[in-house]
Structure 1
Amino acid sequence: MGVICYTSGTTGAKPKGAMGSQKYLVVAGEIWCAVDNWSPEDDYLSYLSPAWATEWVLGLSSGLRSGTTLCFPEKPETVQSDIREIGPKVVFYSARMWESLNSTIHAKIADTLAPFRLMFNSSLKIGYRVIDARFQKKPVPLSWRALYKLADRLVFRYVRDRIGLSNIKWAYTAGASISPDILRFFHAIGVNLKQIYGLTEALMNAVHRDGDIKPESCGVALPGNEFRISENGELLVKPPACFSGYYKDPEATKKQFDKDGWIKTGDAAHITPDNHLVVLGRMKELIDLGDGNKFSPEFIETRLRFSPYIKDVMTFGEAVRPFVCAIVVIDYENVGKWAEDNRLNYTTFADLSQKPEVSKLILKEVERINSVLPDWSKIRRYVLMHKEFDPDEAELTRTRKLRRAFMVKKYKDLIDGIYSDAGEVMVEAAVTYRDGRKGVFKTAIKIRDVGGA
């Protein structure tokens, strides 16, 4: 026995302990170092809990295999200053952490003087132009390469330094889908962010290669891994080494494999002609709208979270309900800053979330996403939540994945109200005032329609 790593419990089931052998860990380091050539000169920031299998594979197994220096923040309160002090060359953050960092950057830029905002926005356009050409494997004209170097020297280098990534060579994300917009943004500012696909039971299975990055994919298979798509569209994997079984749960272990010994991932996916893995979402979470069309909640949610004004979102629909709706959680810090800049007074999170001006702000983000969605999956109605989703209330996992089945049950009355003819739904809300006082009060959550959807 090498390690026991627990699954996240995203589906609402009790997390299971996946047993990994010493071979499970050693092979993980071998195949990883065969792709990205980490060296003893590199520093890896070990930030996430080792209870997550990914941290064992990257931080411990691959780090030991390559001789890379593992660095640890001193404590949660000093993480950002520690990262700047370390200046790591390799980092691994969850998708939600990259989304949060994206929001922070945009909020900080919005708070700078107008000349720097102009420089940043102009530089970002140059960055997107260059990065998009590289993603498409097209040549970048000399003039644009020169402009990009200038933008990097004047703007992007400063931004990377402020977030502790001034020396970055490789940055990774996994655990949930990341918006292609997020990945594209970080590449534009000079962060080599790559998507990993893997699961606790089967190690790492795919990753973007340097020079072969498609923002909508998870890259191509790691050495020794095989992929197969089942008849119902589920991704099956066969890694060079896999888990030994679930701790004290042989029945669940047996169910994790198909009759040919392939591991069932539970993800809907397809393989592109150039062997990139594109994950569409969890099989159990693809929702049938009853008219022959299905939509992926995760696809919509990851793209909405690109907005600096949206922290969390849950979309839903079902066969007996005629359209897609959403529960949106505002980013309190960024929306609060926007409200102050626009001289909009508010007292609490709940008060700010129900302001008509804030609703119009979020409506623009919803309409942006609707513009790229097929008609049947466009968001027709939404509400702005009176509070944040909370892992301590079992609404999210510790990696901030939605526990969707639990949420649908918990917010059944709110969801029923959205699909009714009502203009608002009454809920009870716990509130903490700015002076520290706490209380409970009833508040009305407005139901908003999306015109043209």
Structure 2
Amino acid sequence: MSDTQNLIENRPPSVATLFLERVAKTPDAEAYRYPVPSATGQGPDDWKSLSWEQAAERVYAIAAGLIDLGVRPEERVALASATRVEWILADLGVMCAGGATTTVYPQTNAEESAYILADSESRVLIAEDAAQLAKARERRADLGHLAHVVVIDPTGIEEGAEGDPEGWALSLAELETRGKAYLEKHPEAVKERVEAITPTQLATLIYTSGTTGRPKGVRLPHDNWSYMAKAIAATGLVTGEDVQYLWLPLAHVFGKVLTSGQIEVGHVTAVDGRVDKIIENLPVVQPTYMAAVPRIFEKVYNGVAAKARAGGGAKYKIFQWAAGVAREYAKVSQDNFRRTGTASAPFGLTAKHKVADALVYKKLREAFGGNLRAAVSGSAALAPEIGYFFSGAGIHILEGYGLTESSAASFVNPGEAYRTGTVGKPLPGTEVRIADDGEILLRGPGIMEGYHGLPEKTTEVLEADGWFHTGDIGELSPDGYLRITDRKKDLIKTSGGKYIAPAEVEGQFKAVCPFVSNILVHGADRNFCTALIALDEPAILGWAADNGLGGKSYADVVAAPQTQRLIQGYVDRLNEGLQRWQTIKKFRLLPRDLDIEHGELTPSLKLKRPVVERTYKGLIDEMYAGSRES
């Protein structure tokens, strides 16, 4: 048996066990960093640290506090909070109490939050602040199972506490105090709960973000996370010397899996979920790796392009030249690595790359903190041209792939041998096959137990022999690299019988047009394709200021003929590289960007196609008015 097989097959029953082992192994090593507002309230945040032993003291106190509140093994404790260090400590506390965490996005409205709390039969809610507590109060009559609410940041909730039964709402600090008192009387309580955990015991209930319909609760037992921790370590992509910058929503399976890998490997994680602080934090944290969704890389790319454009024609020409060199260099280097095992490029291209590095790439790497070895991208497809740009600039984006139902990380690109445009190879222990219709099927220890309370939905996607139907279409290279082409249900079949993968066309447009924020390609059962396009507000307003539209609102700029002509130029460039039936014949610019608040994007920034198409049905119909199919 190989070391990798041994590592995975002899995994412990739970991440709670792994956590206790990690604390015993490196008690004084730094585990987490987290921001605290500066004493004056002015200037940058201060960053504090927790060692593994300090983290364990808080985790044990939270676990014991939950035991004291009556939480029994497998009972659900909901966690509604943005990404912060307390989220991780609370999640570990729930697992060490033998309970199961139900994750709730903080942006989820009161109605859907109540649905998740009720469907999961959560006994306790750990809420970030007054706003999350208010949602629970609003729907309290529907939440018969909810015995307690624990508030991480209790600022501003005192005045609303009247009418609560004794002990219904308490602060996290109060829960930890109760837990410490409980441990004084029952010092082995937490360790006993951890020792009693079995691999099949429920650890996490994550509700799918629901690009269509009601969210379904995905049941992930302890063994899923224990496997993920060991498999991530077995890839060799991260080491104990790494510093991870973690900002992803921890309610999402992608963020959550990173916490398991970190415990196994033992490196430092800096935690701050405030997206508006990423640019400020990166030079402070100086991470060696981070994970992100494609939208972040697209925004960085658009921002760099906009800054170059604002610097004048010469600077923008230099940026465009450097971007072209980066892409060419990345493609040649990756191709040579595939053939020879060495990432190399011809002398002339290397010389151009060196000049471009001094002018453009070096500053880009400094913006990421200067120490970034690699970034992992997941949750949606990254446009290959954007991936090649960053690769050539020395920011290596390793695309990965997985679903909530597969505990997030089923595939990842293998370090130096990564291939832009693919999601890499399966994690050790995960099997893959492509069905006759092109659907990707997965089997392995990361696959869910099933959907909570929905046996018929479970049997639709999970075969008796363990193969899970992902709903994604893809193809495997002879040496095992997977390329995702689209969601099975998102494939467009035109009235002419041609199949189109809209995500592929959308990704190509994002690489061509530096002003796009979101794009939806439409064409199912139509005789040509159209697009709804939302523009990136800072980028387009910057362009507007230089083109006679300064001072106008976003909606006015988008409606202006000059803007329409600008975007038409990029659509024409896109169409040059497409098959005739894929080309965008007409488009409409949206009066605002798509967002989570209007239900058009999921919290992990995936497009909800049915919602967007319903909202803008009038614009879609307008584009097809007068065509032969009307």
TM range (shorter): 0.7 to 0.9
Give 5+ residue unaligned stretches, structure 2. 1-201, 338-343
Please, what TM-score do these two structures have when normalized by structure 1? Answer: 0.87
**Cα separation, 1, equivalents of 2:274 and 2:580:** 47
Q: Aligned pair in 2 of structure 1 residues 155, 404: CA closer, same or farther (>3 Å)? A: closer
Q: Does the CA-based 8 Å contact 2:439-2:469 persist in structure 1?
A: yes
Q: Does the CA-based 8 Å contact 1:309-1:331 persist in structure 2?
A: yes
Q: Does the CA-based 8 Å contact 2:285-2:369 persist in structure 1?
A: no
SS in 2 for 1:191: coil
Q: Aligned pair in 2 of structure 1 residues 96, 148: CA closer, same or farther (>3 Å)? A: same
- 1:263 lines up with 2:263 in the alignment: no
Q: Per chain length, whose mean CA-contact separation is higher, i.e. which structure has more relative contact order (CA < 8 Å, sep 6+)?
A: 1
- 1:40 lines up with 2:240 in the alignment: yes
1:278-305, Cα deviation, whole Å (9 max, x unpaired): 1111111111112221111111112222
1:115: how far off?
A: 5.8
- 1:343 lines up with 2:548 in the alignment: yes
Q: Aligned pair in 2 of structure 1 residues 383, 361: CA closer, same or farther (>3 Å)? A: same
SS in 2 for 1:376: helix
Equivalent position of 2:454 in the other structure: 249
SS in 2 for 1:137: helix
Q: Aligned pair in 2 of structure 1 residues 69, 340: CA closer, same or farther (>3 Å)? A: same
SS in 1 for 2:417: coil
303, 319, 332: which is aligned to 1:133?
Answer: 332
Q: Does the CA-based 8 Å contact 1:130-1:148 persist in structure 2?
A: yes
Equivalent position of 2:403 in the other structure: 199
- Aligned AA (2:516): I
Q: Does the CA-based 8 Å contact 1:134-1:211 persist in structure 2?
A: no
Sequence identity percentage: 27
463, 466, 488: which is aligned to 1:283?
Answer: 488
- 1:187 lines up with 2:391 in the alignment: yes
**Cα separation, 2, equivalents of 1:77 and 1:328:** 24
- Aligned AA (2:482): L
Please, what TM-score do these two structures have when normalized by structure 2? Answer: 0.63
SS in 1 for 2:357: helix
Equivalent position of 1:66 in the other structure: 265
SS in 2 for 1:281: strand
SS in 1 for 2:300: helix
Give 5+ residue unaligned stretches, structure 1. 423-453
- 1:51 lines up with 2:251 in the alignment: yes
504, 512, 519: which is aligned to 1:313?
Answer: 519
Equivalent position of 1:178 in the other structure: 382
Q: Does the CA-based 8 Å contact 2:247-2:273 persist in structure 1?
A: no
**Cα separation, 2, equivalents of 1:349 and 1:238:** 47
Equivalent position of 1:213 in the other structure: 418
1:77: how far off?
A: 4.4
**Cα separation, 1, equivalents of 2:293 and 2:581:** 30
Equivalent position of 2:574 in the other structure: 369
- Aligned AA (1:7): T
Equivalent position of 2:225 in the other structure: 25
SS in 2 for 1:339: helix
1:350-380, Cα deviation, whole Å (9 max, x unpaired): 2111111111111121112111211111111
1:141: how far off?
A: 3.1
1:170-205, Cα deviation, whole Å (9 max, x unpaired): 201111111001101111111010110101111311
**Cα separation, 1, equivalents of 2:329 and 2:601:** 37
Equivalent position of 2:602 in the other structure: 397
1:245-280, Cα deviation, whole Å (9 max, x unpaired): 222322222222135420010011111223221111
RMSD over aligned Cα, in angstroms?
A: 2.1
SS in 1 for 2:363: helix
Structure number having the greater helix percentage: 2
**Cα separation, 1, equivalents of 2:468 and 2:392:** 36
1:324: how far off?
A: 0.4
Q: Which moved more, 1:44-53 or 1:345-354?
A: 345-354
1:116: how far off?
A: 4.9
Q: Does the CA-based 8 Å contact 2:249-2:604 persist in structure 1?
A: no
1:18: how far off?
A: 1.4
350, 355, 371: which is aligned to 1:167?
Answer: 371
Q: Aligned pair in 2 of structure 1 residues 347, 119: CA closer, same or farther (>3 Å)? A: closer
- Aligned AA (2:210): G
**Cα separation, 2, equivalents of 1:3 and 1:83:** 30
Please say which structure displays the higher CA radius of gyration: 2
Q: Does the CA-based 8 Å contact 2:237-2:415 persist in structure 1?
A: no
Q: Aligned pair in 2 of structure 1 residues 49, 196: CA closer, same or farther (>3 Å)? A: same
Q: Aligned pair in 2 of structure 1 residues 385, 118: CA closer, same or farther (>3 Å)? A: closer
Q: Does the CA-based 8 Å contact 1:133-1:140 persist in structure 2?
A: yes
- 1:3 lines up with 2:214 in the alignment: no
1:243: how far off?
A: 1.6
Q: Aligned pair in 2 of structure 1 residues 143, 377: CA closer, same or farther (>3 Å)? A: closer
1:31-88, Cα deviation, whole Å (9 max, x unpaired): 1122234222211011011111111212x11111111101013845433212220011
Q: Aligned pair in 2 of structure 1 residues 225, 366: CA closer, same or farther (>3 Å)? A: same
Q: Aligned pair in 2 of structure 1 residues 25, 152: CA closer, same or farther (>3 Å)? A: same
1:380-401, Cα deviation, whole Å (9 max, x unpaired): 1111111211211111111221
1:343: how far off?
A: 2.2
Q: Aligned pair in 2 of structure 1 residues 33, 123: CA closer, same or farther (>3 Å)? A: same
**Cα separation, 2, equivalents of 1:56 and 1:396:** 20
155, 159, 175: which is aligned to 2:360?
Answer: 155
SS in 1 for 2:398: strand
Equivalent position of 1:100 in the other structure: 299
Q: Does the CA-based 8 Å contact 2:252-2:604 persist in structure 1?
A: no
**Cα separation, 2, equivalents of 1:290 and 1:77:** 44
User: How many residues end up aligned between the 2 structures?
Assistant: 418
